[in-house]
Amino acid sequence: MATDNKSSRGSYPQAPISISNEELANASLDALSSNIAVIDTSGKIIMVNEAWRSFALNNGGSGHTLEIGSDYLDVLKRAMESGDPDATKAYQGIVAILAGDIRLFVHEYPCHSPYQERWFLMQATPLAKQGKIYGVVVNHLDITDRHTAERSLQRTEKRFTEIASTIDETIWIRNKEKFIYVNDSFARVWGRSPTALYKDPGEFFAAIHPEDRERIFCEHKKCLDSGQGFKGTYRIIRPDGEVRWIEEREFPVYEDNAAAVRFVGSARDITEQKNLQLKLEEANRVKTDFLNAVSHDLRTPLNAILGFTELLQDSSGLDETQRHYISLSRRAGFRLHGLIDTLLELSRLESGNVQLREELFNLRSFIQEQLELLTLHAEEKGLELVVRIDDDLPEYVYGDDVRFAQVLYNLVINAIKFTDQGSISVHAGVDSNDLVTVAVTDSGPGISAQEQTRIFEPFTQLDQSGSRTLGTGLGLTISRELCRLMGGDLWLESTLGRGSTFYFSADLRATADTPQGDQEQRYGHEAPVSAAKHTPCNREESSPSEQLPGTSSQHTPPSRDGQPANATPEDGYAKEGFHQGVSVLVAEDEPTNALLVQTILEQLGATVILVTDGQQALQKWRQESFDLLLLDVQMPYLDGLQTLEQIRHQEKERNLDRTCIAMLTAHAGEHMRIECEQLGADTFLTKPVQRQDLLAVLRWAGEQRLIDPQS
């Protein structure tokens, strides 16, 4: 096989190259962008690259000072004599290298040029062979851009430090291991030096109140592990023992690879704000307790007034005038009852003590049912009530049907109240945010722009030319707060002389679920009626005697004469079935109310034994069997709640049949109902209790007796 001498890379002609070491060194130096020179042991330049020559010539330097053979140390000496400190340092550094004292000299300095201000990094190293020094390699690297950036960063950091040191908020920067920066506010607020944090990051958590420490530590750890932000409120204890409230925020700082490398935090001393908040909460609590106490003290005699006037109204032998007087008395009593409930409702809303229910109900049917009840009110004034429900309104929803009905009832009854002729329209649908929205439009006198700005404020009453139909002015305030509690709002559009439209919205969760039983069954007598009463809230205030359907302990609202709408004095409430012969133990310490309850129950066909405190009730329960226990909550020796708790405990301990127990109280708060339920009460009646309330409970107890004759 033939071969040739050609290279595998090609057959290019190759000329012989002869380059000296000096030429190679010069070419290499000229290829570098740094300013480089080599000097011998006497300080004379033996090599210099093109970059240094060009820079010197372009910036006013004389060429002969940079020629090979020029004395570089002499140039530095002359600069030293003119007072240049950088030249002094450079001279001393080169001399030290030539003497073998150091092997590297580094110095940053500004360029001495009349044309440009630049910064250079001078580096000098020995030129040596086998330990003998033959000269020095001097390298001047242009670091202007880097230096400018560093100076800019330093100025920024200085401004940040100056600002951070003057603000009240505590600011820090840290990583997972340590604190990098803490401003002076830490010392003012925490009472500790930032230096302590730099030395021991654990000092941060050590200062947190023991009751808050574990929670904050876990939340901080979660912030670190997940790279998420943190926001929290906690207490710290200063070295002097003072407790302060802190509101903290902390956020991660990310690198390009999306990993959190630092955390920036800030903390604000909110002690003054928190103390004010606690004082307001305490004042609110005192106000609520006061209103509850007043409510209790008012409801107790009111219970007797309404109860005995009801008994008197049902009695025979009264003439028409006497019945009219009794009707007026009952209406005044119901009005007082409504005022008490309204004030309590506002107090509960202001203190955040109103809890929404989450019930499944048929919204479309529910609206129709509520408005059917209100149609009678409209027809009494010759008004037409028009209802339009959009197709997109869901059928079944989860939400608080009682509160929803309360607002709807209020707005419609107000529209009827303030409209003398024309019509009322109610339009229900869903808005763009999927909120259930209802518009109530009337053809009334309208509301002026000035009054619109304050109509939702508490105790605001519209100017109706001296009309005494006005109420407390709390109705719309309560309605709006309820709407906001339900995730919606309440607002209006009105033109004076052209009527008004009130809109309200609520976040009711649509669902495909349907109740297991018939919808009406929820409002029937399968279980005892709830006695949590809610007064209607009104544009001004509708008559409190017109109780809100579905929200009163009464099955039907009283009519305008104070009578239950479906009752007549002649029926006696005792003509049918289950409630006849029910044995009832009543524990009530107030003699008048005890007599009232006993009288009504006996008229309804029940057998009643009366005791005046919880100890007597407990003893009687142990001795005899009762179909129903009616326990007043507030009694001497052993109150109703304690009695209830002991009975339920003994039933469980001794494997006894469960006794039907209804609690009777003048406390109308939701918390009382919840407490009674938690202790095992079957139902809860609020004073003033009426005949239909007791009838409903008797019927239920009678049904339970038939279901379980041994109970």
* Nearest alpha-carbon partner for 363 in 405, 409, 426: 405
**Alpha-carbon dihedral of residues 72, 78, 82, 83, nearest 10 degrees?**
50
- On whether residue 536 sits in a domain, the answer given is no
Residue 387 pairs with which residues in a beta bridge? 426
- Both 294 and 215 in a single domain? no
pTM for the whole structure: 0.48
The reply to whether 343 and 388 lie within a common domain is no
Residues 222 and 304 in one domain: no
- Whether residue 688 is preceded by a cis peptide bond, meaning omega within 30 degrees of 0, is yes
Tell me: do 378 and 497 sit in the same domain: yes
Reported as a single tens digit per residue, the pLDDT across 448-502 is 888 887 787 765 555 544 333 444 567 788 889 899 999 999 999 998 888 999 9
Kindly state the average pLDDT of the residues 501-519.
79
Return the ∠ at Cα 610 (arms to 609 and 611), rounded to 5°: 125
Q: Give me the number of domains the chain comprises.
A: 5
Is residue 381 located within the same domain as residue 502? yes
What are the residues facing 660 on neighbouring strands?
628
Looking at residue 708, what is its pLDDT? 62
Specify if 641 maps to a domain: yes
DSSP state string for 60-92: T--GGGGSTT-BHHHHHHHHHHTT-HHHHHHHH
- Residue 556 inside a domain? The answer is no
When the pLDDT of each residue in the chain is averaged and rounded to a whole number, the result is: 80
Of 576-590, 605-619, 658-672, highest mean pLDDT: 605-619
Are residues 199 and 122 located together in one domain of the fold?
no
Q: What is the CATH number of the domain that holds 474?
A: 3.30.565.10
| pLDDT per position as a tens digit, 131-177 | 899 999 999 998 988 888 888 888 887 887 777 777 778 989 888 88
Does one domain contain both 370 and 434?
Answer: yes
Q: What percent of the chain has pLDDT over 70?
A: 82
pLDDT at 301: 84
Query: What CATH number is associated with residue 231?
Result: 3.30.450.20
pLDDT over 80 (residue 445): yes
| 614 lies in the same domain as 671 | yes
Structural domain boundaries, residue 102: 21-146
Q: Rounded to a whole number, what is the largest CA-CA distance in the chain?
A: 148
Residues 515, 367 share a domain: yes
Sequence-distant (6+) residues with CB within 8 A of 468 are: none
Q: What's the rounded mean pLDDT across residues 528-546? A: 34
Q: Which residues contact 423 (CB under 8 A, 6 or more apart)?
A: 383, 384, 385, 386, 442, 443
Res. 701: pLDDT tops 80: yes
Separation of CA 199 from chain center: 37
Same domain, yes or no, for 92 and 177?
Answer: no
Same domain, 591 and 702: yes
CA distance 352 to 346: 10
